[in-house]
Structure 1
């Protein structure tokens, strides 16, 4: 039999050709971009700490004098703990500011409120612009905090105390 002249019919070993000039340039560009990205990630500066918003001017001195301030918001008083709560009616978040005092009530199925805390200090209001995700951070004594987090209910309501 004669030798086949077509390349597909031959059993010669495959020989790789060196990459062309265009392929080498593309590979070099990709390597440089990857090295630059890795260097930027490795040497980026540490993120600056978040700053708390300042207490609004409408908050009176009497409302905030019970706790010292750190960074523009009241700090947790001695003997208290910070407890986050979500309100059953989150639109009330627009009425409350750090430093206000509130009475905290747990709502049951009938809509009745069981007192949990009296004159609790509002440390922070989150999500006042988006009530669906907002809540309050309150300073409660350990007994009140235990009542707030262990009992089941249909959310919380607050009564804002006058300043």
Structure 2
């Protein structure tokens, strides 16, 4: 268990009831290993380095708050942020979006369609549960979604300029439902 500024950062592995485990055998999922998402939080620094060029608009505890958000991302393979310090929805390059976000729905539909095309599956999007995004020559989306088969999935997709898309990850959800939902 890791603790960051008094916030418990432990990620519980939650197995989703229902058909989710059966789908592991039904499809050949896209789940490449990424060493950045190793599930190990960054340690809290013992002392704060002195910034020779402080930003007068940046709150004093900004770096600690960023560490809280980044560690949540590391513990969930980049798919979830349950606690937003001071309610901020944008942290560095990461944006926590509403599940009703139009871009999130477009990316979710594209992820399911691309997975179906690549794997010969017949999944249909039912609900978008969480959306994280970051800009980089397009938009990277980290999505948690539910399909009409009743199962939960995590997808990582890059929506480039024009019609360029790259489905990076599509797998049964490892981090849904969230421990904070109990």
Q: Quickly name the TM-score band, shorter chain normalised.
A: under 0.3
TM score, norm. by length of structure 2: 0.25
